[in-house]
Structures are given as structure tokens and as C-alpha cells.
Amino acid sequence: MARRSEQGWQKKGAGFWWTMLVAAVLVIFGLPIATGGAWLIALGGSWYYLPAGLGLLATAYFLFRRDAMAVWVYLTTFVVTVMWALWEAGLDGWAQVPRLIAPTVVLLLILSVWPLLRSSAPRLRSGLAAGFVVALGVAGAVGVNSHGGTSLFAQEAPALEPTPEAPSAPEQPVPTPSAPTYVAPETGADWPAYGGTHRALRYSPLEQITKENVAGLEKVWEFRTGDLPQNDEPFGNQNTPVKVGDRLYLCSAMNKIFALDAATGSQFWTFDPEVSTDALGYNASCRGLVYFEDLTAEQGALCATRVVNLTHDARMIALDTETGQLCPDFGNGGMVNLMEGIGDAAPGFYAPTSPPTLVRDVLVVGSQVSDNQERSAPSGVIRGFNAVTGELEWAWDMGRPGETGLPAEGEIYTEGTPNSWTIASGDDELGLAYIPMGNSAVDYWGGDRSEAENTYSTAIVALDVETGAVAWHYQTVHYDIWDYDLGGQGSLVDFPTPDGPVPAIIMPSKQAQFYILDRATGEPLVNIEERPAPQGGVEPDRLSPTQPYVTDFPNLLKPELTEAQMWGATPLDQLWCRIQFRQAAYEGVYTPPTVDQPWIQFPGYNGGTDWGGIAVDPVHGVLIANYNNMPNYNQLVPREEVDAMGVVSINDPSYDPAAGSGSHGSISPQAESPYGIRVNAGWRVPFTGLLCKQPPYGGIAAIDLNTRQMLWDRPFGSARKNGPFGIPSMLPIDIGTPNNGGGVVTASGLFFIGAATDDLFRAIDIETGEELWQVTLPAGGQATPMTYEAGGKQIVVINAGGHDFMETPIGDYFIAYALPATGGS
């Protein structure tokens, strides 16, 4: 064998060049791992990578010498790598991907050249000595590196001693219920509002589809709106249709409105408001419509029943449900100009994407305002409009206390104030609308915010729909400079307490906590403790010393990140992420923004819980929530650097969308403040596009409202459409993906949800979290489904519109599922 090998080397055949190639590959990987490992040690990180890199280089050295000692050196490196990996991350399979897969591939390469190598006793001694050095180095890494690891989902947040917080005092007396002159339809045969009803439980009492027969669901119809991007426009429709009677009403990405036969999906009518793509803000999305019945109109009269929609170009449109005609007595010929009082703003700067909320025949309207453009952004004013006439009833502009009408001629609503871009909920009996508030304009710096802005930003605000006055408010983040705006719709429940059920609102948050308040007074019904928050950053004198934490109700906030949780496809990108971790400021939740170094924001601005909200089974007292579990990697950028890069506000005459200063740019200008902001959303690894934090990135959980115990909590979303370089792995393994959109729960104990980035639509058992049914969608399912009864069948509908930012396929589908004709119960 030795003689044959020597002859092969002399001829420099394929075996020689294969060995040289393997050696070169080890050098290519070994050098950056060794040098990066030294850098990581200098930053105070793990000691594993330096000796591991040296082990690769030593192996390459012996391969170049055609020496079998390479095998023993690498075997030693590999064995100790396995020991280190198990010590640091245990048996968590996803955590072991970057630690063990690439080293195993290298082991196979080494074994493939072993028969071609020479061996001798002196070299054996030198090889074993090199391996011993590597083993000592790696063993030392295990001793020095202080980070152990287990699966994040196997851990729970540490228990806290609860201390009750005094509730905020009501600003106005709680309104006295008046005699109802309005219609408040319920779910069941119908789904009359975005959240089922404006109480937003996302619950249906239907139970024809059960745990036993759900596997038999099949597609019964499909409808396509025709709205798809023509160029590179950002699309991501997130529509939840409404259904009343025999008709289903929906809107497309560009605000076209359709009325369909709820049983068959055939079209009755369509209305095209002819919105230009120039008007798009974050993306093309129409989350929902409002259905309204006018009790003062004659039955069958034009617009006695109507649907109301908001458009990207800031119009409110009312249409007759039977014909699709504009309602002539609503606003100006069926339309209300929402830019009145807002002032001049570039197209897309003020661009509503969520429906109004109807409370006591008042349409409560907020709007999306593009993030981080300039301090003098369009106002976040909340307005109430008469649902019959479209007239302005009131305006809550926190910068003009006591003034509830249009601004005087030549004036506008207060610029830069916190807005509400998401969906409000409402209580007709109390006459209150519950507004989830966002941030002041420019999210990551607050040096010139007013007292009112600091009071109402990132707060749940209850407004009296008769007057627009603030009844009460509760702030969930003090001095928010993290973009932790309240994105979810609050759900109105009867919350169990020792003194009996109390009408309450459950407000989910991006910090993965649930703020549960008496919805009449704003008094907390759970213990909320003010805990010390990290200080420092660029605004040390303005930060709040404390932040509120719910202490006696389960939350979805995971333990703080450690270096050991950094991830990637290989040891190289994991090492890169570890270096980034050590370079960044990180003190847990609410780490202040920094300019001299990056900072880690965990959870990131996508949640926790975002606009999909939660679902509640009021009969069994179960809350279901899907959530995200990803960090952002951010850094403030000095104004002079932002200006030098030519990154300007969308309102600037020189604005060029191609320059990356829009909502999807990595740098946003935050004009008229000292800093721009660079955001790495999800904290992606360069080149491979994977995320720096190990999976899971998203989860789904169930909480018992009666016992205040977590029933189950598991990763949500498979790896089938995810992989390095954007290549789908097609692995049907739950990794826990990012997700957007909520779900609907039924009386039969099922939870229907799309949301994840694997393009699957699922039915889940709410008792166990077990997946009972799934179907592949033709596009991303980043929309909340709904369910209703038509033609004697329970039907479930989801909008498969995709989402540009979530990188799921874009579509224009509405798809309905039901049991076969003989499958009902």
C-alpha cells in the first residue's frame, strides 16, 4: 500500500490533487477561524475557535506533506469539538448545526484522502503532539467560556416577586352607557368585523369542523383579485374579509373592493378606487373593511348597509353593499379626504393600511405614517367620523388639548405625534375605543418630544367615542426609543379574578408581555412591576429609570441572549455573529440606542406580538398567541454621515427611493434629529442571509386565563422554505420561523393560522398544540384567516398575499376550505 501510494504521489494523479484541494480548503477556513478566534478572545468571548482554527491549519500542513498525521490531528480536533459542542449547547439539534455539520463534512473529506497518505512513527509523535495542543486549547475553551446552552423553548422566564402598581388615574369620567341606536353583530354564521367583532376575540362559535374531521378539509373555491406588483413595488396584502348575510367583502393590495358569494366565491361587484403605486408607504396592504348598517335608513335603500375602506392615498370610501355604488351622502360623493388638516406630505408618507373601528356608529380612524423619516412627520391625530354622513365628529390631537375640530385655516394637526397604524377595538356599551398607540416620529431618539408625546406614546388609550376625550390611558413602555409601538389589536374579554369576571382588555406587546386592564377604568388586573431598566446611550438624562413588567401572568419573553446562542450555517458565520455579539452593547431588554457601537435589541421591533394580535376562546378561557423571537442589530448614525450618504426623508425634494432611505432601507434618515438609524432587522448574517440568533425565531403558545398558567409553548413554522442563500431546504422540521398575521379559534377547539414563512395553512388543537391539518398555499399566508357559515357549511378563508419584507411569495389569492359534502357533523 505504501509503495502504491508513493507511486501515486510521484505521478501526481487525481489523488494528489484531491489531497491538495482538501488541504487548501482547510487553510481557507482555518485562517479566518483562527484569526477570528483570536479576535473573539480579545473581545472576551469563547476560546474554542482559535485552537480549532489552529487544528485545521495543522491538519492542512500535514496534508500538504502527504502525511497521515493529518488524520490524527483532525480526529483529535473533531472529538474535542464534539465535546465542546455538547457542553455548550446540549442536545439542541438546531444549535448544533453550525457546531457539528461543517466539522463532520471536513471529517469525511479527511477520511477520503487517508488511503493516499504516508505514515511514519516520528511523524506520528509530532502529529499526536499537535493534536494534544489542539485538545488542550479546546479544553481550555470549555473551561474559559462561561456560556452553557439548552433550547430556548425549554426555558421559562425567571419568576419575579409581584408588586402591584397603582393604576393611572382616568383623565375623564367613564361614559354612561346610552340607549343603543347601533347594530353590534356577532360571529357565527357571519364574520362581521376584522377581529370577528370589534371586541377582537377572533373566536367563532361554529363547530362543524372538528378535531376529528379537520383532516378532511378541501378547497371549495379560490378567488384572485388581479393585484400583483408590476415592477419592484413592495406588496404584502394582509386582508381579513368580513362576511354578513350571503356576501363576503374583501379588499386587494391596492384597495380594490370586492363583494363575493360567500358560498361559491363568485363575484357580485367590484370597486376600483384607482390608487397609484406612488401612494404606497410600507407596502401594498389592505388589512380589512368595516361593515355598517344604518338603522335610520329605509330597508333596501341605497347604502342602508355599507362597507367602508381606507386607501393608501388617504381616502375613506363608503360603498353600498348590494351594488358597490358610492354612498352619495357620505363625505363628498362617497369619499372623505383624510389629508384634510394633515398638511402637505409626500405620497406614501401618510398611508392608512388598517380599517377603521366602528363604535356607536362612529368610525375611529388612525393611519400608518412612514417610520424614521423626519421629526416633522404627518400628525398621528386620531379622528372620529359619523358613519352615516362621513362628517368629522371629533379629532384627538394630543398637541392641541381641548381642541377637537379641524385646525384653523392655515394650521394643521400637530406634526410628529404618536400615531396608531394598527387596528383599534371598541366597546359599544361603554362607548370607548381602545387605541394601540405607536411612537413619536423618529423612533430611536426622543430629545424634543413634548410632555404629551411622552405620556401617550406606546400606550393603550381609551377614547370616548362621543367626544374624543381621553377616558384613561396605560403606557406599556416609558420613553420608547426602541420602536416598541403597540402593533396588536386589544382583545376585550371578561377576565376571571378572585372577585369574579371583570370586563377587561388584553393588550399584547412587542415585548412579548400581556397587559390586562379593566377596560372601564384602565386599572391593571394583573400585577405590573416597575423594574430597573438599563441606562446610558446617547440620552442618559432622559431615559426612564424603570419599565413595566407583568409578573403574575405568563409572558412569552425569552431569557436574555448569550454568545452561545449565536448561529449560522458554519462555524465561520457563527464566529462572525459571536464577534458581533461581543462588539455590541447589550444589557437585555431596553438596552439604550448607541452611536459609538452597535446595540442588540431583543425582542426586535417585529415582536413579541405584532399586528396579528391574539385569539381568545371565551368559553374555555384560553388565549392563543403566535409570536416572534428575533433580535435586531442596530446603530445610530451621526447626522453628518447620514447627510454625506445622501439618505434623506421621503418628504425631501431630492428623495430617491433607490437610495435606500425608505421603510425598507437599512439606514433611515430620522431627519431633524441628531442621528439616523441603521437597522439589521432579524440580525442577518452576511452572505448566507441566515439569522445570527439560533432558532427558534417564532413560536405559538396557549395560556389558561383561569389558572394563569401556560398550557403549551412550541416553535411555530417549518424549515421547508428557509435555508442559506435563500435556497429552500424543504425540510419538514419545525424550526420556528418569523411570522406575521394572527389566527382564529373555533368552539370545536381548533386554531386556524397561516403567518409563518413556510407558506402553510394549519389547524392546531388548542388543548395540546398538536398540528391536525395543513395545506400548502400558493403564496405567503401573512394574513389572519376568518370563518363563517354559508350554504350549510362552515367555511374557512385565508388571503394568500405574501409579504415582501418576510420574503414569502407574493400572490393575490383568497382561498376557501370546507369539509366535503358528506363530511359534516
Average pLDDT over residues 97-109: 95
Q: E strand or H helix at 20, and its extent?
A: helix 14-42
Phi, psi of 653 (to 5 degrees): -60, -25
Within 8 A by CB and 6+ apart from 233, the residues are: 277, 280, 284
Q: Identify any residues that bridge with 336 across adjacent strands, giving them in sequence order.
A: 316
Q: Say yes or no to pLDDT of 466 above 90.
A: yes
pLDDT tops 80 at residue 161: no
Residue scoring higher pLDDT (821 or 547): 547
Residue 174 has pLDDT above 80, yes or no: no
pTM value > 0.85: yes
Q: Which pLDDT score, from 0 to 100, does residue 727 have?
A: 86
Burial of 64 (0-12, 13-18, 19+ CB in 10 A): middle
Query: Is residue 658 classed as helix, strand or coil in its secondary structure?
Result: helix
pLDDT for 532: 97
Weakest-pLDDT range from 63-77, 137-151, 649-663, 678-692: 137-151
* pLDDT bucket at 171, cuts 50 / 70 / 90: low
Looking at residue 61, what is its pLDDT? Answer: 95
Quote the CA–CA distance of 705 and 1 in Å, as a whole number: 73
What pLDDT score was predicted for residue 654?
87
pLDDT tens sequence across 377-436: 999 999 999 999 999 999 999 999 999 999 999 999 999 999 999 999 999 999 999 999
Report the pLDDT averaged over residues 722-750. Answer: 92
Contacts of 199 (CB under 8 A, 6+ apart): 425, 426, 427, 491, 492
pLDDT at 26 > cutoff 60: yes
The candidate with the shortest Cα–Cα distance to 473, out of 512, 417, 528, 434, is 434
The lowest-confidence range among 115-124, 232-241, 259-268 is 115-124
Core vs surface per residue 112-133: b (16+ CB within 10 A) or e: ebeebbeeeeebeebbeebbeb
If you average pLDDT over residues 699-725, what whole number do you get? 95
Q: Does residue 153 register a pLDDT over 60?
A: no
Q: Which residues of 432-441 are buried (b: 16+ CB within 10 A; e: fewer)?
A: bbbbbbbbbb
154 pLDDT above the threshold of 70: no
For residue 784, name the pLDDT band (cuts at 50, 70, 90). very high
On whether the CB atoms of residues 782 and 740 are closer than 8 A, the answer is: yes
Q: For 429-458, what is each residue's pLDDT tens digit?
A: 999 999 999 999 999 999 999 999 999 999
pLDDT for the residue 701: 98
pLDDT at 123 over 50: no
> Looking up cell 506533506, which residue turns up?
65
For the residues 34-56, what does the mean pLDDT come to? Answer: 97
CB-count burial class (<10 Å; 0-12, 13-18, 19+) for 531: middle
Q: What is the pLDDT of residue 421?
A: 96
**What is the grid cell recorded at 719?**
424549515
Q: Does position 89 have pLDDT exceeding 90, yes or no?
A: yes
- Of residues 692 and 2, more confidence is placed in 692
pLDDT at 152: 34
Q: Is the pLDDT of residue 129 over 60?
A: no
Cβ atoms of 331 and 318 within 8 Å: the answer is yes
What's the rounded mean pLDDT across residues 18-42? 96
Angle between helix axes 49-64 and 69-89 (nearest 10 degrees) is: 160
Mark whether 483 is an active-site residue. Answer: yes
**Span 55-70, average pLDDT:** 95
The terminus-to-terminus CA distance of the chain in angstroms comes to 74
Rounded to 5 degrees, φ, ψ at 623 are: -100, 130
pLDDT of 822 reads 73
Position 118 confidence tier, pLDDT thresholds 50, 70, 90: confident
- pLDDT level of residue 4 (50, 70, 90 thresholds): very low
Comparing 416 with 661, the larger pLDDT belongs to 416
pLDDT the model gives residue 821:
86
**Average confidence score pLDDT of the chain:** 90
**Per-residue pLDDT reduced to its tens digit, 486-542:** 999 999 999 999 999 999 999 999 999 999 999 999 999 999 999 999 999 999 999
Mean pLDDT across the stretch 753-768? Answer: 97
pLDDT at 659: 59
Q: In what order do the strands lie in the sheet with 502-508?
A: 491-495, 502-508, 514-518
Rounded Cα distance between 348 and 276, Å, is 10
Q: Which of 199-213, 400-414, 463-477, 719-733 has the least mean pLDDT?
A: 719-733
Torsion angle of the four alpha carbons 261, 264, 269, 272, in this order, in degrees rounded to the nearest 10: 110
More confident site: 689 or 523: 523
Q: Which of 313, 361, 443, 483 is catalytic?
A: 483
Could you report the per-residue pLDDT of 231-240, keeping only the tens digit for each?
889 999 999 9
Dihedral sign of CA atoms 559, 564, 567, 569 in order: negative
**Where does 706-780 show beta strands of DSSP type E?**
709-715, 718-719, 731-734, 743-746, 750-753, 760-765, 771-776
The residues with which 389 forms a beta bridge, in sequence order, are none
